[in-house]
Structure 1
Amino acid sequence: MTLHHSLTFSIGLLVTSTQIQAHEFWIEPSDHYTGVNQTIDITLKVGETFRGSAQPYLPEETANFVLINQTKQSISGLLGDSRPAARAQVSAGLNQLIHQTTPFSIRFGDGDERWANYIALDGLEQQLNQHADLPKTVPVTERYVRCAKSLIQVGGTRVEDTLTGEMPFEFVLNGSWSQLNTGNYQVTLFEQQTPLEGVLVKAFRHSDRQVVAEAYTDQDGQVNLNLPTADRYLFSGVVIRPDTDPNYDWISHWPSLTIEVVN
């Protein structure tokens, strides 16, 4: 599998091994619950099973980076820094952090088992089979885009997650809360404004890296997942489609959502 970046060669050498091995991408804020007008550190993580390496803020790899509360503000990252990649001041109520990358590209060559493993791990066979004219086995070329969201609650008022429309694919945590407790949660995956069916969604728990729940989205784009303990959680899925760029077979989008359950 060959990875191509828009970065310079020297920077690419530093990140290539991480990008190849990485699976999920998520936002890790310093706090999911905090006070008014506090500044939070924002770390961008790439890895597997909710463990990964901090990624530097690189403008050429960033398509969208915003904080949404009563207003929307662009986040100017700390160029080249990874811990944190950015800082932002939050305000009362729900603060939605959004980060979307520019496309990366991969080629899975003959004999590369990682393509088949990837399809199996992320439950993509049904999505692939909707497109009979495209290759399902190696060699395969793919571009991928990461679409991350994180929720930060400021103060004790009840809040509700909503669709921001800032990314092509986005998770929304249904219901209202002042703090998230253990129990069952319903999450909806949207493509633009439309709920999306047939995507495998996994809930990873931070403390032990376990997938505590997983399900395919139903006709309403929803899954019901049980979060059994107080912890940080990552919801992650993959949407794969034919690429409109003739140089590639497929393009995938990797929506994620990070939250914290406090009791």
Structure 2
Amino acid sequence: MWINRLRIFASAACLFSAPASAHEMWLEGVNYEIDVDEKIVSNLKVGQNFKGSTYSFFPDSFQRFDIALADQLKPVEGRLGNRPTVDINALGEGLNILLYQSNDMIVTYTEFDKFASFVTHKAFENTLAEHEQLGFPKDKFREVYSRYAKNLIGVGNARGADRSYGLETEIVALENPYTDKLDDGFDVKVLYQGSPRKNAQVEVFEKTADAEDDVRVFTTRTNDDGIATIAVKPDHIYQLDAVVIRQPANALAQEKNAVWETLWANMTFATP
């Protein structure tokens, strides 16, 4: 029993220390469309290009973990160390949504080139000039980061709609991928503190269920209303990622003398 607990704590420690500069965190459904009498099974993963490590259910690692169906909202329940991370009953027939907010975590940079590569990849090139102007160190500095993930699961008729559930940054589906026609793309709205993010980069990861090694990655941007249209294909699985970078605005960042803070919004869904 003690060995199992040590493994759980080690897994959580790896999750805490996973560099924000290198990895996405997402909720990956075992099945994205299920019958009413089936359970919702999903895994919390950290990695790149839809490949990564699976993490156990560990309450000390998150601030919020809920399942939603329209206006219904209920905490996700599980036993310490459960894997799959989520193995629960749906709230009912329709579009069920898993919502996850991690704790704040810290990464320490000792190579400025890695930070420069990260902010350039996430389309925040101006951050490099700001880092210089503010006199922040380049040899060693800290960033605090947090994750905000959603997983769309169609249960039974899968009817319903996503909405904002109050995450500090959040991707909101404006269409239902399981019931709506997506010939003209899949529309989402990117929010930060409840307001639309204009000209925000959305990174898209696309794969088929049986092609783990064939992941297509591309980016798009939101319009003036914070809306991005994702070109999607039938019978694929998608992960969307949108990052906010700001000067630290929380107690942990101040305590750890972090000079930057990143907030990662993520969404996963499938197309029938």
Distance 1:174 1:17, change over 3 A: closer
Aligned residue for 2:241?
236
Aligned residue for 1:210?
216
Distance 1:138 1:227, change over 3 A: farther
Aligned residue for 1:3?
none
Distance 1:215 1:155, change over 3 A: same
Pair 1:250-2:241 in alignment: no
More strand by share: 1
Aligned residue for 1:55?
55
More helix by share: 2
Distance 1:248 1:34, change over 3 A: same
TM-score of the aligned structures, taking structure 2 as reference length:
0.82
Provide, for residues 17-76 of structure 1, a one-character-per-residue CA deviation record: whole Å limited to 9, x for no partner: 982385111001222111224212221010001111101222211110000115211112
Structure 2 counterpart SS, 1:114: helix
Distance 1:156 1:134, change over 3 A: farther
Distance 1:34 1:180, change over 3 A: farther
> Residue 57 of structure 2 contacts residue 79 of structure 2 at CA under 8 Å; is this kept in 1?
yes
Unaligned runs of 5+ in 2: 1-5, 209-213
TM-aligned CA deviation for residue 229 of structure 1: 4.1
- Measure, in 2, the Cα distance between the counterparts of 1:112 and 1:227: 36
Task: Give the aligned CA root-mean-square deviation in angstroms.
Answer: 2.9
Pair 1:72-2:78 in alignment: no
- Measure, in 2, the Cα distance between the counterparts of 1:16 and 1:236: 18
- Measure, in 2, the Cα distance between the counterparts of 1:62 and 1:215: 29
- Measure, in 1, the Cα distance between the counterparts of 2:127 and 2:224: 14
Structure 2 counterpart SS, 1:113: helix
Unaligned runs of 5+ in 1: 1-6
TM-aligned CA deviation for residue 155 of structure 1: 2.2
Structure 2 counterpart SS, 1:237: strand
Aligned residue for 1:179?
179
- Measure, in 2, the Cα distance between the counterparts of 1:16 and 1:94: 29
> Residue 198 of structure 2 contacts residue 225 of structure 2 at CA under 8 Å; is this kept in 1?
yes
Structure 2 counterpart SS, 1:120: helix
Whichever residue aligns with residue 197 of structure 2, its letter is L
Pair 1:15-2:14 in alignment: yes
Identity %: 25
TM-aligned CA deviation for residue 137 of structure 1: 4.9
Pair 1:150-2:151 in alignment: yes
Q: Give 1:20-31 correspondences, 5 Å limit.
A: 20=19, 22-31=22-31
> Residue 158 of structure 1 contacts residue 177 of structure 1 at CA under 8 Å; is this kept in 2?
no
TM-score of the aligned structures, taking structure 1 as reference length:
0.84
Whichever residue aligns with residue 238 of structure 1, its letter is V
> Residue 128 of structure 1 contacts residue 136 of structure 1 at CA under 8 Å; is this kept in 2?
no
Structure 2 counterpart SS, 1:66: strand
- Higher mean alpha-carbon deviation, 193-202 vs 39-48, is at 193-202
TM-aligned CA deviation for residue 235 of structure 1: 0.4
- Measure, in 2, the Cα distance between the counterparts of 1:216 and 1:162: 20
The number of residues matched between the two structures is 252
> Residue 101 of structure 2 contacts residue 149 of structure 2 at CA under 8 Å; is this kept in 1?
yes
Aligned residue for 1:4?
none
